[in-house]
Each structure stands twice: as structure tokens, then as C-alpha cells.
Amino acid sequence: MSKVDALRVCPVERAGGLDNWVRRWLQNPRKFLAPYVSKGMTVLDMGCGPGFFSLEMASMVGVSGDFLRLA
């Protein structure tokens, strides 16, 4: 491992590991977000990384809501 690689907290090459079926089973995005996000809301996902919660939020606000994703 190079000195530069040691300084990277989560390299992009490993981002796929943040969005997998095990994490979805343990930390279900819809169940986690349900108390906070509903149809018609405007939501913002800042620092969303690979978007683990992004697609679920966009689905939850529906066509009447607004979804902004800032990576």
C-alpha cells in the first residue's frame, strides 16, 4: 500500500462494498427513512457516496416531490 492510498478513507474502488444485499438486509433504507421522508417532500442527499439511500429517497418522494443529490 502506498503512502497516498493509506490517506484515502474510502477509495472509490471499494464503493461497491457499501451497497450490497447484506447491508440492505441489515439497514433497510426504506424502513430507516420512513419516519422522515414522505410523498411530495423535497429531500437533499449530501455526501451520498454510491447512493445507498438516494434511490430509495427518490422513490419515496414520488413524482410530486423533489430530490437533490450532491455527491
Please give the tally of structural domains in the chain. Answer: 1
Contact 60, 39 (CB under 8 A): yes
Global confidence as pTM: 0.71
Q: SS3 of 45, please?
A: strand
Residues 6-62: tens digit of each pLDDT: 676 767 777 778 888 888 899 999 999 999 999 999 999 988 878 889 889 999 999
Query: Whose grid coordinates read 462494498?
Result: 17
What is the chain's alpha carbon radius of gyration, rounded to the nearest angstrom? 15
Distance, in Å, from the CA atom of 69 to the CA atom of 44, rounded to the nearest integer, reads 6
User: Residue 3: which pLDDT band, with cuts at 50, 70 and 90?
Assistant: low
